[in-house]
Amino acid sequence: MGYIGETIDSIKSIQIRQLLTQAISLGMIVTSALIIWKALMCVTGSESPVVVVLSGSMEPGFKRGDILFLHMSKDPIRAGEIVVFNVDGRDIPIVHRVIKVHERDNTGEVDVLTKGDNNYGDDRLLYAEGQQWLHRHHIMGRAVGFLPYVGWVTIIMTEKPIIKYILIGALGLLVITSKD
Amino acid sequence: MHSFGYRANALLTFSLTALAFICAIASFSDNFSNQNPSAEIQIVNINRFKKQSYGNDEVSLTLDITADLQSLFTWNTKQVFAFVAAEYETPKNSLNQVSLWDAIIPDKEHAKFRVQTSNKYRFIDQGHNLRGKEFNLTLHWHVMPKTGKMFADKIVMPGYSLPDAYK
């Protein structure tokens, strides 16, 4: 009971200047996180430098909840690379391995076929209607490194959004009631 | 300064930083391992060599693959993904890579193996250029770590060729 009384007291005693200062420091934290994210996008050359593994199609190497670091370079796509691609019309990126490459002589364009390590067949079923091959513009990046389990935070927040709201609410409460 | 909240926050931040540091060092230690894998592939038999109804060549062959990949395993290795690909050139395509067989090697004991198998994935050309075609067989391996940077390499074995006529 004493803690709630204290909290109510501290909310009542907020002055405008203090509130503004805290709002600005919160804004600085959010902005610096955004700066780091955008800088990562520049450094790795990929639109999403970090992705979370959502399905079990690359087990046992990548389990659901792992995160992958991506890098995109102008190097040609070769068999064996683990690539992240978007199928036309779907917005969830897929992380699978390249198993076939046919590179054109004159234009440098390339036909690519992918397959998840743990899947029985190749990804033709996942591609758009009538599409047999992936091309360079579908590929968003190559996986170069990985960290286990860290992605569960994102998965939980996406699948149970109530946890996201609880977290943000608690953070907001902390910011308001902190004495500094 | 000594409230539960501050202490919990400091503990959490410190443990996350320490974990990240340990993961980075574990990954960095992989650079110091000495790796000398070896492999040998023989084509036992060409089972089928025909032209499909849409005009593309298709080959089915049986391979005998011997490999010793034990030196690739370090304490930070979760698994090694190995696959054999055929690489060749055609007039229209400067490079074709077709994966014929792959395997997941979960630990060091399984890394020295000999397997005789027909190709797991269909060897289909874009076109009908495969008669008499010379190609390389490459054994690629992809080391997937417990944390950190993945690395891959390959052994190229040239000198294989397909028969001059359909079978």
Residue B158, SS3?
strand
Domain for residue B64, yes or no? Answer: yes
Determine contact: B29 vs chain A, CB below 8 A: no
A17 within domain boundaries: no
Residues B62-110: pLDDT tens digits? 999 999 988 888 888 889 999 999 999 888 888 899 999 999 998 888 8
- Indicate whether A79 and A163 sit together in one domain: no
B71 touches A at CB < 8 Å: no
Cα(A69)–Cα(B13) distance, integer angstroms: 22
C-alpha distance from A145 to closest chain B C-alpha (Å): 4
Mean pLDDT computed over A59-84: 87
> What whole-number distance in Å separates Cα of residue A149 and Cα of residue A156?
12
How close A117 comes to chain B (CA, Å)?
A: 8
CATH number at residue A72: 2.10.109.10
Any domain includes A3 = no
Q: Which of A156, A151, A144 is nearest to A52 (CA)?
A: A151
Give the pLDDT score at A10: 64
Q: How many domains does the structure of chain A reveal?
A: 2
**Hunting for tokens 């891959």 — which residue is that?**
B152
pLDDT digits (tens, 9 = 90+) for B101-141: 999 998 888 888 899 998 888 888 888 888 888 889 999 99
Host domain of residue B97 = 33-161
One domain for residues A123 and A108: yes
Q: What does pLDDT average to over chain A?
A: 82
Q: Indicate the number of domains in chain B.
A: 1
Q: Is B142 in contact with A82 (Cβ distance < 8 A)?
A: yes
- Region label for A149, one of left (φ > 0), alpha (ψ between -120 and 50) or beta (otherwise): left
Cis amide prior to A49 (ω within 30 degrees): no
Say what the pLDDT of residue A177 is.
Answer: 65
Q: B24: pLDDT confidence band, cut at 50, 70 and 90?
A: confident
| Structure confidence at residue A114 (pLDDT) | 92
* Assembly ipTM: 0.83
Using the predicted structure, report yes or no on whether residue A115 has a pLDDT greater than 80. Answer: yes
Minimal C-alpha gap between B148 and chain A (Å):
5
Which of A63 and A175 is assigned the larger pLDDT?
Answer: A63
Residue A179 pLDDT level (bands cut at 50, 70, 90): low
Please compute the mean of the pLDDT values over residues A59-64 and round it to a whole number.
Answer: 86
Q: Are residues A61 and A109 in the same domain?
A: yes
Asked, for residue A14, whether it belongs to a domain, the answer is no
H or E, element range at B93: strand B93-105
Q: How far apart are CA B57 and CA B74, in angstroms?
A: 41
Give A125-177 as a 3 state SS string.
HCCCCCCCCECHHHEEEEEEEEECCCCHHHHHHHHCHHHHHHHHHHHHHHHHH
For residue B5, pLDDT beyond 80: no
Are residues A56 and A144 located together in one domain of the fold? yes
- Shared domain for A85 and A104, answered yes or no, is yes
Q: A112, A111, A110: which is closest to A96 by C-alpha?
A: A112
pTM score, whole prediction: 0.79
State phi, psi for A51 to the nearest 5 degrees. -125, 155
Q: How far is CA A73 from CA A49, A81, A139, B112, B114, in A?
A: 12, 13, 11, 34, 36
Residue A174 and residue A108 share a domain: no
Residue A100 pLDDT greater than 80, yes or no:
yes
**What residue of B is the nearest CA neighbor of A148?**
B147
CB contact under 8 A, B91 and A105: yes
Is the predicted pLDDT of residue A169 greater than 80, yes or no? Answer: no
Contacts of B46 (CB under 8 A, 6+ apart): B59, B60, B61, B162, B163, B167
A101–B96 C-beta distance less than 8 A: yes
Most confident of A11-25, A154-168, B57-71: B57-71
Give the pLDDT score at A3.
76
- How many percent of chain B have pLDDT more than 70? 99
Q: Confirm whether A11 is domain-assigned.
A: no
Instruction: Quote the domain boundaries for residue A60.
Output: 50-148
Same-domain pairing of A165 and A105? no
Q: Which of A123, A137, A138, A178 is catalytic?
A: A123
A14, pLDDT greater than 80: no
Determine the pLDDT at residue A76.
87
Give the model's pLDDT for residue A122: 85
Residues A114 and A171 in one domain: no
Cβ of A103 within 8 Å of Cβ of B23? The answer is no
Tell me the pLDDT band of A4, cut-offs 50, 70 and 90.
confident
Active site residue A137: no
Strand partners, B124: B58
In the A/B pair of chains, how many CB contacts fall below 8 A?
Answer: 82
pLDDT of residue B147: 86
Q: Which residues contact A169 (CB under 8 A, 6 or more apart)?
A: none
Summary mean pLDDT of chain B: 87
CATH number for the domain that contains residue B149: 2.60.40
